[in-house]
A and B are shown apart, each in its own frame.
Chain A
Amino acid sequence: MATIHEVRGVPDREIRPPGPQRTLLAQDRRLGYWLVTPAIVLLLAITAYPLVYNIWNSFRYVTPDNPVVNGKAAGLANYRRMFGQYSGFQTALLHTVIFTVVSVAIEVAVGLVLALALNKPFRGRGLVRAAVFIPWAVPTVVSAEVWKEMFDPQQGFVDYALKLLHLPGSTTSWLANTDTSWVALFVADAWKNTPFVAIILIGGLQVIPGEIYEAARIDGASAWRQFRRLTLPLLKPALMVALIFRTLSAFLVFDVVYIMSNGGPGTSTTTLAYLDFNDFHVNNDYGLGGALSLVLIVMCLLVAAAYTRIFRERS
């Protein structure tokens, strides 16, 4: 991120041809404003506007299916309903936290191993990297459909492989059971997102200068010690980026759940984002959905703030 600050140091007089200083500076600034405006306007229109509109909605009844109260002020009623007993919020929150913790842990651990394995040069490294990055680059609908089918008891590979290896569980209908459907979701999510963590970490490994390892080796540090004392601390910024990205997107997981398990069986894999989608697209209860959206955003902010804090304290 430092490069952006370096940008500020560009001596602008070098760009400008000789001429009246003030008008040229004004011209330069005006050009900057013109060029940056479209991007800022677009981003504000799709982030700030819906956000403000949503805050307003969360304190009203916005229920086209119920014209009696539609549009009336609701006070905190939406929030009370959301945290209430019948909304499914508590269960969905638990599911979301479990999903986030487990999938992020798997992805960061395996992603670190993958990044270390793919960092040193070897013959065919480009091809290998491309091969393991492909699952990240394909649409979620692909990873979800692929693993839905791999776990299918009729057409799938998982049960077939278990049978071939004479292992237990070869007749499991993975997505039809409350516990095993989580396994399918974790595998599908990890398969797609582990390469993403690896990409970020490879970038972090690339900027670590090789000479410090040479120095450590001359000092007789073992490979493990080098990893613990050099690689891991120096990789911290990249790890933090990967962790924040993955945690925030796992916390808002929707598409893979929608496609693979549809929140079920029952509500056993319903997450908060899934609940939010239902409020908006199934129940047409935009006030309630708005309240949930807002709570989700606040939770994401808290998670991001917590990460920043932890990493700042440690370093």
Chain B
Amino acid sequence: MSTLTVTHDGRPAQFAVPRRRAPKPSAIARTVLILLFVLASLFPFYWIVITSVKTNSDLARGTHSLLPTSFSWSAYKADFAQYDYWRNVLNSAIVALSTTVITIVVGSAAGYALARTKMRGRPVLLGFILVAGFFPVMAMVGPLFLTFTNIHVIDNFLTLIVSYLVYTLPIAIWFLANFFSQIPIEIEEAAVCDGLTRLRALFRVIVPVAMPGVLTAAILSFILAWNDFTFALSFMQTPSKYTAPLAINNLGHSQYQVFPNMIDAAVVVVTIPIALLVLAAQRRIVSGFTSGSTK
């Protein structure tokens, strides 16, 4: 962004009003708008956090307040100790991380092949991957369930991981193919001239240079796999194998009563890693989604 363009009042830069003057009404309106968006995004989380630390007796009284009315870890303790929620979080971590690793290995290989080799049929393959990316997965959950049932792989982490690839692989391949194609060819050339094989050059030279792109693809894959509900609901049957989102749907509901603090405690736990990831990688996420879609 050149400094010329940031004059708020639309005058050419040399006539711009010095910045220290009272802010323009449009600037104030924009700030208020942004604050409203931030509030709308974060307030529900605040409400969930203060509910998650309420005691059961406080909830039974039905007190409403914008400020916390009681503080106790009892809902968290109940989730983790009584209902083994830690196991579900662990399941989610295993499944999401495995999906991410497979996506990166398989996706980098395919992305590299599409970007840097002279193989035939590249347009067809790229077209197929694009179509797979837009594939209406949610309409296919039932057929997938039936397929997995017939080959007896239902209620299995691997089934879940393979299914998530339908979300993660197409976007990772497109993104990585773009990324690889932007790495100067000379780097690879030099490595091959130094006597490395193509494959060695790929892993020793190209992948390290492509690390930022790989990391972005990994973050997006992790988020997609960590967040799934429908596949887990359809394919997992043993409660101890449930992923965290699936477990949340059953937590805190006894036969006669709902315990919002227990649901909210579980929600807070599953949200924290994602919130940290977004805070750390906001810029990468934007670039990940925009390359390949709007260029």
Contacts and interface: CB of A to CB of B under 8 A. Distances in A.
A135 to B, nearest CB: 5
A277 B282 CA distance: 34
A228 B25 CA distance: 22
A31 B117 contact: yes
Nearest to B43: A157
Contact of B199 (A31, A54, A113, A237): A31
Contact of A252 (B34, B47, B139, B182): B139
A191 to B, nearest CB: 7
A35 B117 CA distance: 10
Contacts, number: 330
Interface in B91-119: 106-107, 109-110, 112-119
B189 A36 contact: no
A54 B140 contact: yes
B18 interface: no
B135 interface: yes
A199 B282 CA distance: 10
Nearest to A124: B34
Given A113-B33, A155-B260, 8 more contacts: A4-B115, A38-B109, A39-B129, A47-B140, A138-B271, A145-B249, A210-B2, A258-B230
22 contacts: A3-B178, A7-B116, A10-B115, A33-B119, A36-B110, A38-B110, A39-B173, A43-B169, A51-B143, A54-B142, A134-B278, A139-B226, A142-B271, A146-B44, A149-B47, A150-B44, A155-B260, A191-B44, A203-B294, A277-B142, A279-B142, A297-B136
Interface of A: 1-4, 6-8, 10, 12, 14-17, 25, 27-29, 31-36, 38-40, 42-43, 45-47, 49-51, 53-54, 57, 62, 113-114, 117-118, 120-121, 126-135, 137-142, 145-147, 149-150, 152, 154-155, 157, 160, 191, 195, 199-200, 202-204, 206-207, 210, 213-214, 217-218, 223, 237-238, 241, 244-245, 248-249, 251-255, 258-259, 273, 276-277, 279-281, 286, 289-290, 293, 296-297, 300, 304
